[in-house]
Amino acid sequence: MLQRVQTLFLLAVVLLMACLFFVPYAAYTGASQGLEFTVMGMSPVDAQGEMLPQGRMLVWQLAVLTGFVGLGALLTIGLFRRRLLQIRLCAVNIVLLLGLQVLMPLMASAMAHQQLQTVEGNAWHLPTVFPVVGAILMFLALRAIGRDEALVRSLDRLR
Protein backbone atom coordinates (compact mmCIF):
# COMPACT_ATOMS: atom_id res chain seq x y z
CA MET A 1 0.00 0.00 0.00
CA LEU A 2 2.52 2.67 1.07
CA GLN A 3 5.18 1.48 -1.34
CA ARG A 4 3.10 2.33 -4.43
CA VAL A 5 3.61 5.61 -6.28
CA GLN A 6 -0.13 6.37 -6.32
CA THR A 7 -0.11 6.45 -2.53
CA LEU A 8 2.46 9.24 -2.62
CA PHE A 9 0.35 11.18 -5.12
CA LEU A 10 -2.77 10.75 -2.97
CA LEU A 11 -0.92 11.75 0.21
CA ALA A 12 0.28 14.89 -1.57
CA VAL A 13 -3.35 15.73 -2.40
CA VAL A 14 -4.30 15.25 1.27
CA LEU A 15 -1.48 17.60 2.34
CA LEU A 16 -2.47 20.23 -0.22
CA MET A 17 -6.08 20.15 0.97
CA ALA A 18 -4.95 20.42 4.60
CA CYS A 19 -2.84 23.47 3.70
CA LEU A 20 -5.88 25.15 2.16
CA PHE A 21 -7.56 25.17 5.57
CA PHE A 22 -4.86 27.31 7.15
CA VAL A 23 -2.96 29.29 4.51
CA PRO A 24 -4.66 32.37 3.00
CA TYR A 25 -5.20 32.10 -0.74
CA ALA A 26 -6.51 35.60 -1.44
CA ALA A 27 -6.37 39.06 0.09
CA TYR A 28 -8.64 41.99 -0.74
CA THR A 29 -8.11 45.55 0.46
CA GLY A 30 -10.73 48.21 0.96
CA ALA A 31 -10.64 51.82 2.14
CA SER A 32 -9.74 51.15 5.78
CA GLN A 33 -9.64 47.38 6.12
CA GLY A 34 -9.01 44.22 4.17
CA LEU A 35 -10.01 40.59 4.00
CA GLU A 36 -7.84 37.49 3.90
CA PHE A 37 -9.44 34.29 2.68
CA THR A 38 -8.69 30.75 3.75
CA VAL A 39 -10.94 27.81 3.03
CA MET A 40 -12.14 27.88 6.65
CA GLY A 41 -13.27 31.46 6.34
CA MET A 42 -12.36 35.03 5.76
CA SER A 43 -10.42 37.02 8.28
CA PRO A 44 -11.07 40.75 8.47
CA VAL A 45 -7.80 42.65 8.89
CA ASP A 46 -7.07 46.34 9.24
CA ALA A 47 -4.77 48.39 6.99
CA GLN A 48 -1.70 47.22 8.94
CA GLY A 49 -2.61 43.55 8.44
CA GLU A 50 -3.73 42.87 12.04
CA MET A 51 -6.85 40.80 12.74
CA LEU A 52 -9.94 42.85 13.62
CA PRO A 53 -11.93 41.95 16.74
CA GLN A 54 -14.99 40.63 14.87
CA GLY A 55 -12.90 37.54 14.08
CA ARG A 56 -13.48 35.05 11.34
CA MET A 57 -16.51 34.34 9.20
CA LEU A 58 -16.92 30.75 8.08
CA VAL A 59 -17.19 29.92 4.41
CA TRP A 60 -18.67 26.47 4.98
CA GLN A 61 -19.15 25.46 1.34
CA LEU A 62 -15.43 25.61 0.65
CA ALA A 63 -14.62 23.86 3.92
CA VAL A 64 -17.01 20.99 3.17
CA LEU A 65 -15.81 20.58 -0.41
CA THR A 66 -12.15 20.64 0.62
CA GLY A 67 -12.86 18.17 3.41
CA PHE A 68 -14.61 15.82 0.99
CA VAL A 69 -11.64 15.91 -1.38
CA GLY A 70 -9.13 15.25 1.41
CA LEU A 71 -11.18 12.45 2.92
CA GLY A 72 -11.81 11.00 -0.54
CA ALA A 73 -8.07 10.84 -1.17
CA LEU A 74 -7.52 9.14 2.20
CA LEU A 75 -10.33 6.69 1.47
CA THR A 76 -8.78 5.95 -1.91
CA ILE A 77 -5.50 5.07 -0.21
CA GLY A 78 -7.31 2.71 2.15
CA LEU A 79 -9.09 0.86 -0.66
CA PHE A 80 -5.87 -0.50 -2.17
CA ARG A 81 -7.36 -3.97 -2.78
CA ARG A 82 -10.31 -2.61 -4.79
CA ARG A 83 -8.61 -0.88 -7.69
CA LEU A 84 -11.71 -0.27 -9.81
CA LEU A 85 -13.35 1.56 -6.90
CA GLN A 86 -10.13 3.52 -6.45
CA ILE A 87 -10.27 4.60 -10.09
CA ARG A 88 -13.86 5.79 -9.70
CA LEU A 89 -13.04 7.71 -6.52
CA CYS A 90 -10.09 9.37 -8.26
CA ALA A 91 -12.35 10.48 -11.12
CA VAL A 92 -14.89 11.93 -8.67
CA ASN A 93 -12.12 13.71 -6.76
CA ILE A 94 -10.78 15.25 -9.97
CA VAL A 95 -14.21 16.73 -10.69
CA LEU A 96 -14.48 18.00 -7.10
CA LEU A 97 -11.02 19.57 -7.29
CA LEU A 98 -11.85 21.38 -10.52
CA GLY A 99 -15.09 22.59 -8.94
CA LEU A 100 -13.13 23.82 -5.94
CA GLN A 101 -10.77 25.67 -8.27
CA VAL A 102 -13.72 27.51 -9.82
CA LEU A 103 -15.53 28.11 -6.52
CA MET A 104 -12.60 29.54 -4.53
CA PRO A 105 -12.03 32.73 -6.55
CA LEU A 106 -15.73 33.28 -7.21
CA MET A 107 -16.64 33.04 -3.55
CA ALA A 108 -13.71 35.19 -2.45
CA SER A 109 -14.60 37.90 -4.93
CA ALA A 110 -18.30 37.86 -4.05
CA MET A 111 -17.67 37.94 -0.30
CA ALA A 112 -15.10 40.73 -0.64
CA HIS A 113 -17.49 42.91 -2.63
CA GLN A 114 -20.21 42.18 -0.06
CA GLN A 115 -18.07 42.97 3.00
CA LEU A 116 -16.02 45.90 1.70
CA GLN A 117 -17.72 49.01 0.37
CA THR A 118 -15.01 49.61 -2.20
CA VAL A 119 -12.44 47.05 -3.26
CA GLU A 120 -9.19 48.83 -4.02
CA GLY A 121 -7.02 45.83 -4.75
CA ASN A 122 -6.67 42.12 -4.53
CA ALA A 123 -3.81 39.66 -4.35
CA TRP A 124 -3.90 35.96 -5.12
CA HIS A 125 -1.43 33.79 -3.26
CA LEU A 126 0.17 30.46 -4.17
CA PRO A 127 -2.53 28.25 -2.53
CA THR A 128 -4.96 29.40 -5.22
CA VAL A 129 -3.47 26.82 -7.59
CA PHE A 130 -3.51 23.94 -5.06
CA PRO A 131 -6.74 22.44 -6.47
CA VAL A 132 -5.26 22.32 -9.98
CA VAL A 133 -2.06 20.72 -8.68
CA GLY A 134 -4.23 18.30 -6.70
CA ALA A 135 -6.21 17.40 -9.83
CA ILE A 136 -2.99 16.70 -11.72
CA LEU A 137 -1.69 14.53 -8.88
CA MET A 138 -5.04 12.73 -8.69
CA PHE A 139 -4.88 12.05 -12.45
CA LEU A 140 -1.37 10.64 -12.06
CA ALA A 141 -2.61 8.40 -9.25
CA LEU A 142 -5.53 7.28 -11.44
CA ARG A 143 -3.10 6.30 -14.22
CA ALA A 144 -0.87 4.38 -11.80
CA ILE A 145 -3.86 2.52 -10.35
CA GLY A 146 -5.00 1.71 -13.90
CA ARG A 147 -1.55 0.30 -14.72
CA ASP A 148 -1.69 -1.87 -11.59
CA GLU A 149 -5.12 -3.17 -12.56
CA ALA A 150 -3.92 -3.96 -16.09
CA LEU A 151 -0.92 -5.84 -14.68
CA VAL A 152 -3.11 -7.91 -12.35
CA ARG A 153 -5.53 -8.74 -15.18
CA SER A 154 -2.68 -9.81 -17.46
CA LEU A 155 -1.27 -12.09 -14.78
CA ASP A 156 -4.72 -13.63 -14.24
CA ARG A 157 -4.82 -14.53 -17.95
CA LEU A 158 -1.57 -16.44 -17.68
CA ARG A 159 -2.75 -18.75 -14.91
C-alpha dist (Å) from residue 82 to 101, 139, 143, 145, 146: 29, 17, 15, 10, 11
Task: State the pLDDT at residue 80.
Answer: 84
The mean pLDDT of the chain is 84
Question: What structural domains and CATH numbers belong to the chain?
Answer: 5-158 (1.20.140.150)
Report the percentage of the chain scoring pLDDT > 90. 40
Is the pLDDT assigned to residue 115 strictly greater than 60?
A: yes
* pLDDT tens digits, 75-110: 999 888 888 999 999 999 999 999 999 988 888 888
Nearest Cα to Cα of residue 28 among 136, 138, 154, 125: 125
* pLDDT tens digits, 121-154: 777 888 889 999 999 999 999 999 999 888 888 8
